[in-house]
Structure 1
């Protein structure tokens, strides 16, 4: 940048880059142990209970734009400061790639607005290569992680039920909310074709677990950030109490450029650019922990070049950025005549599904290797005209109260009639599945592009394979059969091969993992089984980067468990004077 580097005076025991699930858990665990911690976050501070930042319980008309659009990519009041595109912070794709990268620049990161779906990986999810010969097994097993899953359940809180499904492990559950009407209809239809529908597992408090957090009051707005801290966000559940310890200093609006190392190859701290004064700062620490998200942590490592690490810190294997993979995704909705003309009542519930479909089939009998779960949508949340009415499913006409056909839509009385008849009559199905981790899917530094801070940006290369396409086709076949069993009318045509069976673009599900994967072989992995860099013993990565494979579950609960495990390993190594 051309500025003199300013030295921060204090040196820390641990410096953590990123404040999402992995970074938050590391901050809380390490500061509880009495270690001095610096937390560096690329965005501003955030507290969903702060009146200046709170968006929960606001009406649409309270938007300063009054319906003229939104400045937030996934909802006007969503607790996300960032998006698919951030001004001055580009990324690029190779010519045959359409990777999408969502970044949330704020304390707590993407945990402020995620779906709170809190699923453990199962025993089979750590040994997929042994089962189907694709990808690699993890260097750890479910039994290694189970004690940490248990502690995360109790520390943070998750509702659900004990179902005894082998690869959908049970945990320590709070009582789940009752299913909504559309979920009961899905459950009834699914039972006829032997598809299980069980209570969802979300990190939302339905019972008190601590004096510092309130209980969910069912406003259905978890994505806005909970002002009573009734759901899990790293910002409110992990970082807020850690800051009260007096052992944590937080640096916000701090864009990390690189990890610094010494002649012995040990990490000594980081360089970052303060977005408010545009100065470059150096912060020193005995241990550096990256938790900036799988791709951002890879970017930092790849940009951390020196004579000892010409290809980036911890990258002697050349694996940093490799094996990038995201969950698969496909969606379908339908109009359900049984749900027309509904009595109006509050069906909001938690900010997410009350029931879901776990993977229920044996892949050995199918034409693809990995499974998926199905997330259910519907109900009587706040409507917008043209959404949730199912009008398009009936080709623009529907029977009125006298059984006569009339054109749908219009203004005034006609519009009101549409709302009364169709509101709440739509259900949706979203498949979320496991893709195969491949070395050929990667992110790397684009040598021709820098961001507004002068830091080289990432370029992505990613292609789906037949495995993912066949899985998406199976998702849609499942959706069609469920809709048929419910007596519904699908919205639109089922996507075909030319449309990749409706498979979402890579990165679109925002579950990207694998760029700094763990393994026992330093020539084929970046980290060991404790999230510690093979090449640099005082460098750790605790976001989604260490994942060897994704599983058909959302990654957050596993990020939390592995970060807790890694942080306690660090504490042990500090005591043994190995760090």
Structure 2
């Protein structure tokens, strides 16, 4: 496939690829420093406050599928996750024995439009795990290096929570947290009996005003649809649109970046991209290139950026681009609480996510696996989604009449509707999200035999869980069962066993992939230095989760934001010194 290559005119100070958490933060900080910025996004423009983009507060009957998911919206027809694990014309391949699933977002703001807003800081131990358990590698930076930027992110974006004084769950600058809902009170009861802590969640949702540009949460529980009041954090609404309003950011949408272009000295000169609108190839020139396309997409761009100066891909003299790919572990369990069957109906929507959670609470030296996990709780009387009530053939046995006998209602018609109403709000569940061990053997590379619809070579994945993650999943299931039982719930379904790796989700399914362009002090074993600057190309930086040396048992977004802010300040300083 061939394309007409068209070059832009004047060079920008900075070209940023990707508009998610890292790219959005870089756009804001660099443009506010007076630099001209070109921001390239592979999807379209998006603003949840515009009627054509809004899905918040739309009832199921406004969807032709009643809210059911589609290929391009896998979490549901109203969920603002435009993209998915399977995008038409954008394939990827897997090595034999690999089950890695790669989620891509194709919209301004990327994945920050639909995520759970769980905004946790990595703790001091999370940067130095090798020193603690001998596995993986330590980061070349520590908590004290990034703490000032966590503080700035808290104050700029807003996060609710509570000060708990837990060493490896650092406190921040918190807005008031919402009160627990009924199902969460039951979880707290069960966890207390099991001697497991439960504390207020830390979510980037405004329960108090932080500036005049954003509204405050009105508790519709639909943050996954993106907030028209901008009360929750999304990169587009909180970072990019305000930066664009100041006139320093040019947004290129539907721009599928192919390569980082370089000169004969190996210095980055800009990027080439395919326009999804006319299928022509364009080049944008810039003094600095910043990749924030997501860990795997940034690795793909770097690996495809081959030249005489970078024969293995830009920044890849070490051969480490794509290596040490890892995702969070994940497992789930649910139950039904007889005490909540046929309970009174009232509005308990709350925020679009959990009001409480359990941070990692145990000492790994006493366990048979390294690292830990946190627990997320879910349930309640949220608006029923597509498929609600589809398991009534197995659920009806939990509905009793006044004599304690199973429901006499039939499996259809008015009786079915009565049973569904009785069960509404009585189910609850929990999910574990944990830390996996980075492995050199888990990686992505270019598949030279396959290209996407734009003619760009695709990624091929190699990934397997180790015993560490499988044992961790077993511990999750044991914990879930204990908490649910102590809460008074009846467990639903068979407890996952070794045949399913204890319900361990496939790699990539938690959508926390990190580590493909990891930072380090040694150029032979890392791609970037401690400022997220490529060892081999001084004016190339990465601001997504690729630089992570390890993933903690926390969601990565808050650390992506803090690192991107830190890297952006470094870029400004280096430009002033004329070092890049």
Q: Structure 2 length normalisation: TM-score?
A: 0.98
Q: Distance in 1 between matches of 2:302 and 2:68?
A: 41
Q: Which residue does 1:350 correspond to in 2?
A: 351
Aligned to 2:10: 10
Q: Deviations over 1:426-482 (max 9, x none)?
A: 110100000000100000000110000000000000000000000000000000101
What residue ranges of structure 1 are gaps of 5+ in the alignment?
A: none
Q: What is the match of residue 25 of structure 1?
A: 25
Q: 1:293–1:543: 8 Å Cα contact kept in structure 2?
A: yes
Within 1, Cα distance between the matches of 2:418 and 2:111? 39
Measured after TM superposition, the shift of residue 69 of structure 1 is 5.8
For residues 359 and 408 of structure 1, do their structure 2 counterparts lie closer, same or farther at Cα, with a shift above 3 Å needed? farther
SS at match of 1:418: helix
Check conservation: 2:68, 2:76, Cα contact below 8 A. no
Let me know the Cα RMSD of the aligned residues: 1.4
Q: Deviations over 1:237-288 (max 9, x none)?
A: 0000000111111110000000011111110000001110111111000000
Measure the CA separation in 2 of the matches of 1:404 and 1:118. 46
Deviation at 1:192, TM superposition (A): 1.4
Please say if residues 392 and 420 of structure 2, whose CA atoms lie closer than 8 Å, have aligned partners that are also in contact: no
| Partners of 1:66 and 1:227 in 2: CA distance | 21
User: What is the CA-CA distance between 1:81 and the residue it aligns to?
Assistant: 1.7
* Alignment map for 1:297-336 (pairs within 5 Å): 297-336=298-337
2:10 is paired with a residue whose SS is: strand
> Which range moved further: 544-553 or 397-406?
397-406
Shift in Å, 1:83: 1.1
Distance, in Å, in 2 between the alignment partners of 1:202 and 1:66 is 29
Q: State how far apart, in whole Å, the 2-side matches of 1:401 and 1:205 are.
A: 45
Please tell me whether the aligned partners of residues 389 and 423 of structure 1 are also in contact (alpha carbons under 8 angstroms).
no
**Does the Cα contact within 8 Å between 1:326 and 1:512 map onto a contact in 2?**
yes
User: Partners of 1:68 and 1:292 in 2: how far apart?
Assistant: 28
Distance 1:492 1:297, change over 3 A: same
Mapped partners of 2:264, 2:410: distance in 1: 71
Shift of 1:416: 2.9
Q: Distance in 2 between matches of 1:443 and 1:28?
A: 30
1:370 aligns with 2:355: no
Map 1:381-392 to 2 at 5 A: 381-384=382-385, 387=388
Count of aligned pairs? 579
Counterparts of 2:67 and 2:412, CA distance in 1: 18
Q: Deviations over 1:471-497 (max 9, x none)?
A: 000000000101110121111011111
Aligned residue number for residue 49 of structure 1 = 49
CA contact (8 A) 1:334 1:393 kept: no
State the SS of the aligned residue for 1:329: strand
Assess if the C-alpha contact under 8 Å between 2:268 and 2:537 holds in 1: yes
Residues 396 and 407, structure 1, Cα contact 8 Å, conserved in 2:
no
335 and 408 in structure 1: CA distance in 2 versus 1, 3 angstrom threshold: farther
**In 2, are the aligned partners of 1:326 and 1:550 still within 8 Å (CA)?**
yes
Q: Secondary structure, in 3 states, of the residue corresponding to 1:38?
A: strand
Equivalent runs, 1:442-481 vs 2, <5 Å: 442-481=443-482
SS in 2 for 1:421: helix
Shift of 1:2: 2.1
Residue 214 of structure 1 corresponds to 215
Question: Which runs of 5 or more residues in structure 2 are unaligned?
Answer: none
Q: How does 1:146-545 map to 2 (within 5 A)?
A: 146-384=147-385, 387=388, 396=397, 398-406=399-407, 410-545=411-546
Q: Measure the CA separation in 2 of the matches of 1:483 and 1:302.
A: 46
Conserved? CA contact 1:134–1:436, under 8 Å: yes
CA distance in 2 between counterparts of 1:65 and 1:128 reads: 46
**How far is 1:404 from its partner?**
2.7
Cα deviation digits, residues 391-410 of structure 1 (max 9, x gap): 57767453123433235662
- CA offset digits 1:523-574 (Å, max 9, x no partner): 0000000000000000000000000000000000000000000000001111
Q: In the alignment, which residue of structure 2 is the partner of 1:121?
A: 122
Instruction: State how far apart, in whole Å, the 2-side matches of 1:326 and 1:351 are.
Output: 23
Residue 335 of structure 1 contacts residue 390 of structure 1 at CA under 8 Å; is this kept in 2? no
For residues 535 and 209 of structure 1, the distance between their equivalents in structure 2, rounded to whole angstroms, comes to 41
| Counterparts of 1:392 and 1:542, CA distance in 2 | 49
In structure 1, C-alpha distance between the alignment counterparts of 2:387 and 2:101, rounded to whole Å: 27
**Cα-to-partner distance string for 1:335-383 (whole Å, 9 max, x where unaligned):** 1112112111001010000000100000010000010000000000112
TM-aligned CA deviation for residue 386 of structure 1: 6.4
SS at match of 2:241: helix
Offset of 1:10 from its aligned partner?
A: 2.1
Deviations 1:119-156 (A, max 9, x none): 00000000000000000000000000000000000000
For the 8 Å contact 1:398–1:407, the answer to whether it is kept is: no
Asked whether the 8 Å contact 2:69–2:75 carries over to 1, the reply is: no
* SS of residue matched to 2:8: strand
What secondary structure is seen at the aligned counterpart in 2 of 1:458? strand
Aligned position for 2:579: 578
Instruction: Label 1:390 to 1:199 Cα distance change in 2 as closer, same or farther (>3 A).
Output: farther
| Compared CA separation, residues 65 and 190, structure 1 to 2 (3 A) | closer
Please give the alpha-carbon distance, in whole angstroms, between the structure 2 residues aligned to 1:503 and 1:572. Answer: 44
Shift of 1:20: 0.1
Moved more, 129-138 or 396-405: 396-405
Structure 1 CA distance, aligned partners of 2:391 and 2:99? 31
How far did 1:66 drift? 4.3
